Amino acid sequence: MMPNDTLSKVLYIDLSKKKFETKDRRDLFEKYLGGTGVATQLLLEECPEGLNPLHPDAPIIFAVGPLTGVFPLASKTCAMFKSPHTGDLGESHAGGRSAIAIRMAGYGAIVIKGASEIPVYLTIQGGKVKFKNATTLWGMKDGSIPARVMRQNEKGEGLRAIFRIGTAGENLVTYSNVTTETYRHFGRLGLGAVFGSKKLKGMVISGKQMIEVNNKKEYRNLYDQIYKTATESPIMKKYHDVGTAINIKALNFIKALPVKNLQFSSSESIEPVSGESIAQHHLARRVACAHCPVACIHLAFLREPYDDDPYFYKTSPVCYDFELIYSLGTMVGIDEPTNLLKLIDIVEQVGVDAMSMGVILAWMTEMYERKMISPDDLDGTEIKWGDSDAYIEIVRKIVNPTTDFLKACSRGVDHAANQYGGKEFAMQFGKNEMAGYHTGPSGYLGFLLGARHSHLDNGGYSIDQKDLIKIDLTAQQVVDKLLEEEAIRQILSSVAVCFFARGIYDLKMVSEALKLLGYDLSDTRLAEIGKQIHLNKYTFKMREGFRFEKLDIPERIYETADPTGKITRKFIHEGINYAKSLID
């Protein structure tokens, strides 16, 4: 790396003592680049074995990478923590302005430990950290208001990002999220609850640091090449035009879209909530993360009449994408766009992960239909597929639970199903609720074996669609492909590039870009580093009790038709056993 690069500076913040210090961790950044690579090492260093994820000593780590602030689409911040949702590796990525602000503030990583006695928010600017009283912001129903207050109070210099939690995080819902710049989230695995346990309402971070490059002319050329590919080639066009929501119709067509808790894998009534239809009738504008020329963030306008004047409308922008339409739409039987947007809006306001919430609502609806729970368990609410008003009530009740059942639901579908039954249709993998892909066995092996049990770990669903249908892969060959892809993705999230740009940033391109920042790493060497980072994650997982043989698999996946016809117990278990022989 360049001699004066501030990327190697790690800011350590202690919320209990209201103190902070900066350490130079060139040792970590030279070995693991940044982002997920460095954050995993910091987690291994800072999180004592067996610690309750909500204990004050549990660390929150944010890390960015060498390409952050230098090349287009290097827009992601990696958050690392012990997950209160799974008790395992907690990792979540978000864009917005978060990554560039951390880099411009002069840091490569931030480690937050301890807990405040009263609610606080942090301001990080000009090498200083301030601990601000957030008592008046705690408990506000609409999570966007504290962000507005912080924005108003903290002017800051240079590029600024604001992080905040909602009431779900304050109330320690284990799948609560952290929002940055209104529409981006550290969504999965409960970072919001870790913030809440520390009485940390949010953070404002800003800076205007310069970043040096080796050769300005070559830098300009490479920058232009990446920019042009992102904006003029077909590689990223779909993300801008209709966005990931384009997958709704495609997956429905091949019978890979989870409908009504995956009782079905397609529906005849999805047209109004397809990406194309929402774009045509409701799209208001697109926005982008900082340093991204693609703008894949799609905002629809939700228009709702005020109670006392039917001709006067409240208009709110609501962000939507494939995962939101699946989890809060098809998974719970909502096929009317305004009702879908209303449910998304409430999930956004309380600050929970949409995929987890959607899967829990879907499981709960099936439990209710089968009379395995009663209206009393739901504190009087009656639910049925597609009833968005009932679901909105339930979301609020889960965040402030008044019954034991709702309390159990605030800890995830696996936790609730262990207490109330229905495990065979509780759609979780490694205790993380599923993403919207019933594409075949590679998708499920991807969820089960990925370090954070996320579809983004290894993109198993695309192996089903590209390879498994055409070529007869064995379970072992699928696992080899998953592990290879997951190792490559470790590099992308260590240099902190958006995964949507993986068609541009192959390892050769990453190697070229790093050269201009003073690194001499071939694509082969990068692949080796990626493998090592992946193994380091498994070191943490095993240390904290993860075991391949303990993975629960909901029976439902074997019962519902899929495009490959190959989701069998034999295939899935062969895959798990093979992965165990390689990693354990």
The reply on whether position 354 binds ligand SF4 by CB under 6 A is no
- Return the residue of 2, 51, 283, 288 that touches ligand SF4, per CB under 6 A: 288
The reply on whether position 71 binds ligand SF4 by CB under 6 A is no
- Return the residue of 150, 296, 426, 468 that touches ligand SF4, per CB under 6 A: 296
Rounded to the nearest whole angstrom, what is the least distance from the CB of residue 94 to ligand SF4 in the complex?
9
The 3-state DSSP class for residue 73 equals: coil
Rounded to the nearest whole angstrom, what is the least distance from the CB of residue 73 to ligand SF4 in the complex?
5
Measured distance CA(238)–CA(244) in Å, rounded: 7
The 3-state DSSP class for residue 131 equals: strand
The reply on whether position 351 binds ligand SF4 by CB under 6 A is no
Rounded to the nearest whole angstrom, what is the least distance from the CB of residue 293 to ligand SF4 in the complex?
8
- Return the residue of 20, 163, 500, 540 that touches ligand SF4, per CB under 6 A: 500
- Return the residue of 498, 517, 553, 576 that touches ligand SF4, per CB under 6 A: 498
Taking CB under 6 A as the criterion, which residues in 102-131 touch ligand SF4?
A: none
Measured distance CA(44)–CA(281) in Å, rounded: 48
Nearer Cβ to ligand SF4, position 473 or 509?
509
- Return the residue of 73, 194, 449, 509 that touches ligand SF4, per CB under 6 A: 73
Rounded to the nearest whole angstrom, what is the least distance from the CB of residue 289 to ligand SF4 in the complex?
3
Measured distance CA(354)–CA(349) in Å, rounded: 11
CB burial readout 54-93, b (16+ within 10 A) else e: bebebbbbbbbbbbbbbbbbbbbbbbbbbbbbbbbbbbbb
Question: How many residues touch ligand SF4 (CB under 6 A)?
Answer: 13
Task: Identify each DSSP E strand in 144-253 by its residue range.
Answer: 159-164, 178-180, 184-186, 200-207
Residues with Cβ within 8 Å of 474's Cβ and at least 6 positions away in sequence, in order, are: 574
Rounded to the nearest whole angstrom, what is the least distance from the CB of residue 236 to ligand SF4 in the complex?
7
Over its C-alpha atoms, the chain yields an Rg (Å, rounded) of: 23
Rounded to the nearest whole angstrom, what is the least distance from the CB of residue 33 to ligand SF4 in the complex?
18
Nearer Cβ to ligand SF4, position 183 or 326?
183
Nearer Cβ to ligand SF4, position 161 or 289?
289
Measured distance CA(59)–CA(47) in Å, rounded: 6
Nearest CA-CA partner of 77 in 88, 58, 61, 63: 63
The reply on whether position 294 binds ligand SF4 by CB under 6 A is yes
Measured distance CA(281)–CA(228) in Å, rounded: 30
Q: Which stretch binds ligand SF4 (CB under 6 A): 293-301, 307-315, 356-364, 575-583?
A: 293-301
- Return the residue of 64, 204, 292, 360 that touches ligand SF4, per CB under 6 A: 292
What is the DSSP code string of 77-106? EEEEEE-TTTSSEEEEEE-TTHHHHHHHTT
Is beta strand 9-14 parallel, antiparallel or unpaired with respect to 109-113?
Answer: parallel
Residues in touch with ligand SF4 (CB under 6 A): 73, 75, 95, 239, 288-289, 292, 294-297, 498, 500
